[in-house]
Amino acid sequence: MNAILPTLLAAALLAVSTPSPAQPDAASPSAPRWSRVADASLARQEIYPAVLDGRIYVAGGILSDAPGFTAYVEAYDAAANTWRKLSPLPEGRHHIALAAAGGKVYGIGGFSGAIPDWRAHATVFVYDPKLDRWTPGPALPQPRAEGVVAAIGDRIYLIGGRMPASADAVHISQHADTNRGEVLDVRSGQWKRIADAPTARNSAAAAVIGNKIYVVGGRQMVVQPNGGQRPVNVATLEVYDPALDRWETKSPMPLAQGGLAAASHDGRLYAFGGEQFVPERKVFAEAWVYDPASDRWSALPPMPTPRHGHGTAVVGNRIFLMGGGEKVGVAASRAHEALDIPAQ
């Protein structure tokens, strides 16, 4: 684990030395504004939604109460501001990453079990909205959870996350951060390796801008002398270019936020919330927008409900944030809010 210490130090120094970002002018008519929309049917966190045909799909997640996780699936119709219950996952999962490609929704990897007894899976479930049915998809080469996914055309990219440190890993502490990158071609049903990311991390967020994948924030589990793990947030922003199979590091977030959510709109990257365990336990309300043209971050109006492990998705000129935890750790929420982005 010594190899990641320089990365952590560099990320911390970058975050500290970053100039203060411009603050939002809430009075301006062109400023983004928050509003409350229909709450989700189920309080849950550690969700990774996907958008297909104007609907936001949410599957699995962590529950505050027994059994601790779920197979529940629902979709949000942004035009009607309503939720609809769908067929459940074949098996309960949390941290299962959803991506839409080829007219279907793919649920990739994830954990089963209530904290702290987590088991990572290599399963891929495929949802057909026309049939309201899940079927098995091309399994991952290895179990994985807490990574980020991004769909570009008929390809779904999986980057980072956590993998079992041994074949019989059944506890949250028995998994290790990875920088592994893979891509699924949904037409051929084949996974293949891509260039590994510069930073191994979990609980990051990602979005696609101009056919490039922006991966931001997250945390690393640093092994302590006593064998325990210390979750340390990172502010790092890295960009993957599939055409060149190459990574590039950009300006870090103004704050190191783990368990955050991200989305893209009109060529910019938006990042929201998250949590921190050290040096103090807190949940973030901070929200940011990144402009790739200038490589600069700016502050947005803070989230009305600070959360981590929440999902985000874009429909039209609105960015929706649903679910998550309102306290550090397991504290599932039904909250659902939208950030309205004025047309430029």
DSSP code per residue over 48-100? B-EEETTEEEEE--B-SSTTSBB--EEEEETTTTEEEEEPPPSS-BBSPEEEE
pLDDT averaged over the chain? 93
Instruction: Read off the pLDDT of each residue in 118-147 and give the average, rounded to a whole number.
Output: 98
Q: Can you give the pLDDT at residue 23?
A: 63
Instruction: Read off the pLDDT of each residue in 235-261 and give the average, rounded to a whole number.
Output: 98
Burial degree of 268 (CB within 10 A; 0-12, 13-18, 19+): middle
- Flag the least confident range among 23-37, 41-55, 256-270: 23-37
Q: Which of 267, 284, 259, 260 is nearest to 341 (CA)?
A: 267
Q: Among all chains, which residue has been given the structure tokens 């959510």?
A: 261
d(C-alpha 268, C-alpha 208), whole Å:
9
Q: Can you give the pLDDT at residue 27?
A: 53
pLDDT for 268-293, tens place per residue? 999 999 999 999 999 999 999 999 99
| Beta-carbon contacts of residue 20 (< 8 Å; ≥ 6 apart) | 254
Burial degree of 281 (CB within 10 A; 0-12, 13-18, 19+): exposed
Cβ 243 vs Cβ 211: under 8 Å:
yes
Q: Can you give the pLDDT at residue 343?
A: 81
Q: Among all chains, which residue has been given the structure tokens 């997250």?
A: 218
Cβ 215 vs Cβ 252: under 8 Å:
no
What share of the chain in percent tops pLDDT 70? Answer: 91
**DSSP conformation class of 337:** E
Architecture of domain 2-340: 6 Propeller (2.120)
- Flag the least confident range among 10-14, 231-235, 289-293, 323-327: 10-14
Element (H, E) at 150: strand 148-152
Q: Which pair of structure tokens corresponds to residue 201? A: 């991390």
pLDDT for 323-340, tens place per residue? 999 999 999 999 999 999
Identify the residue with better confidence: 157 or 7. Answer: 157
- Flag the least confident range among 8-12, 146-150, 157-161, 313-317: 8-12
Domain-by-domain residue ranges, the chain? 2-340
pLDDT reading at 25 higher than 60 = no
pLDDT reading at 28 higher than 70 = no
Q: Which of 229, 233, 232, 239 is nearest to 198 (CA)?
A: 239
pLDDT for 177-189, tens place per residue? 999 999 999 999 9
- How many Cα atoms sit within 13 Å of 114 on the Cβ side? 8
Element (H, E) at 240: strand 237-241
Please name the residue ranges forming H helices in the chain: 5-17
Q: Can you give the pLDDT at residue 225?
A: 86
Q: Which of 22, 148, 40, 118 is nearest to 85 (CA)?
A: 40
Instruction: Read off the pLDDT of each residue in 104-119 and give the average, rounded to a whole number.
Output: 97
Q: Can you give the pLDDT at residue 4?
A: 43
- A 10 A CB-CB count for 70 gives 19
pLDDT reading at 2 higher than 50 = no
Phi and psi based region of residue 227 (left: phi greater than 0; alpha: psi -120 to 50; beta: remaining): left
Give the pLDDT band (50/70/90) at residue 224: confident
pLDDT reading at 8 higher than 50 = no
- A 10 A CB-CB count for 116 gives 10
Q: Which pair of structure tokens corresponds to residue 272? A: 């929201």
Give the pLDDT band (50/70/90) at residue 24: low
